[in-house]
């Protein structure tokens, strides 16, 4: 088989924050990276060396030839959680994930030579609010919207294992990047001198620097012993209050103006659970597999970003 095919990595959701960082780093390392897009002609900010292929986000139509014999499929695609959680938007968030999961399974089933590994995205929100409990990958799913959605999302690609394909599930914490995601929103109040904890500030915030997020996904692609769920979060989670204080110190800004929980709920509705309820998630299985974090402590991570 062509060596390029054996180093091919297909990414769904490759135009998103994590997908762009991951695809660029993999391409720079010599992998043949293909990002799937429903509108390849308008796909923007594609890193150098990354190809774009069209798909319908429902089936393997149009890209089955790419999946045949590929090294990996990385499934990151799904509608953003950053929208008001109406009944309709909840359906969109859930169904967008399940449709893509079915498409990945379809590609694996139809491939004459199966991809070696599927990396399935999820998040630490899967565990639901857990107070001060230390959360490893053996913890149960939460029973709220995020927990139920994550459980279904993860299960959507489980059938690839029946075809002998290794599968690793990444449950990512809050990914810190200056390019987008939660971090610029968390930093903005501090830039305006009105920073501070959200709600009680006692809720845990499982964080990870984008550098380690990308390195961990690559590690799981390349490590043939890695399968099952993995928390992608730094070994030292912090509370929201500690995060706010550390961010304020690094930015040289105050961090004492607490935002009341009721106000966050009033503005965000049910979605407020994302910032008011946290998980003390730790990357036990990544550490057991021998992965080494470059940013295991928060202050150096913030200094690198800022």
Tell whether pTM > 0.85: yes
HEC assignment per residue over the chain: CCHHHHCEEEEECCCCHHHHHHHHHHHHCCCEEEEEECCHHHCCCCCCCCEEEECCCCCCCCCHHHHCCCCEEEECCCCCCCCCCCHHHHHHHHHHHHHHHHHHHHHHHHCCCCCCEEEEEEEHHHHCCCCCCEECCCCCCCCCHHHHHHHHHHHCCHHHHHHCCEEEEEEECEEECCCCCHHHHHHHHHHCCCCCCECCCCCEECEEEHHHHHHHHHHHHHCCCCCEEEEECCCCCEEHHHHHHHHHHHHCCCCCCCECHHHHHHHHHHHHHHHHCCCEECCHHHHHCCCCCCCCCHHHHHHHHC
**pLDDT for 273 beyond 60:** yes
Query: What pLDDT is attached to residue 183?
Result: 86
Per-residue pLDDT tens digits for 19-78: 999 999 999 999 999 999 888 777 777 899 999 999 998 888 889 899 999 999 999 999
Q: How confident is the model at residue 3 (pLDDT cuts 50, 70, 90)?
A: low
């Amino acid at each position: 088989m062509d060596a390029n095919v054996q180093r091919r990595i297909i990414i769904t959701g490759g135009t998103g924050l994590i997908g762009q960082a991951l695809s660029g780093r993999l391409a720079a390392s010599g992998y043949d990276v293909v990002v799937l897009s429903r509108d390849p002609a308008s796909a923007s900010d594609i890193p150098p060396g990354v190809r774009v292929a069209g798909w319908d986000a429902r089936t393997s139509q149009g890209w089955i030839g790419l999946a045949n014999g590929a090294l990996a499929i990385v499934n990151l695609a799904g509608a953003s959680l950053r929208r008001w959680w109406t009944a309709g938007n909840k359906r969109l968030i859930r169904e967008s994930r399940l449709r893509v999961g079915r498409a990945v399974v379809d590609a694996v089933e139809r491939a004459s030579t199966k991809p070696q590994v599927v990396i399935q995205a999820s998040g630490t929100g899967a565990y639901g609010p857990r107070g001060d409990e230390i959360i490893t990958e053996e913890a149960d799913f939460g029973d709220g919207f995020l927990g139920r959605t994550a459980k279904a999302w993860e299960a959507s690609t489980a059938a690839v294992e029946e075809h002998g394909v290794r599968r690793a599930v990444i449950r990512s914490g809050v990914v810190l990047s200056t390019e987008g995601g939660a971090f610029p929103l968390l930093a903005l109040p501090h830039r305006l001198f009105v920073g501070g904890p959200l709600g009680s500030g006692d809720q845990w915030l499982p964080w990870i620097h984008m550098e380690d997020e990308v390195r961990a996904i690559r590690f799981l692609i390349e490590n043939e012993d890695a399968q099952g769920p993995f928390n992608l979060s730094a070994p030292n989670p912090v509370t929201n209050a500690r995060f706010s204080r550390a961010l304020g110190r690094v930015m040289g800004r105050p961090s004492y103006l607490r935002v009341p929980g009721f106000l966050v709920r009033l503005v965000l509705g049910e979605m407020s659970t994302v910032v008011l309820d946290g998980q003390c998630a730790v990357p036990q299985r990544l550490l057991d597999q021998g992965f080494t974090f470059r940013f295991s402590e928060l202050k150096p991570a913030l200094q690198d970003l800022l």
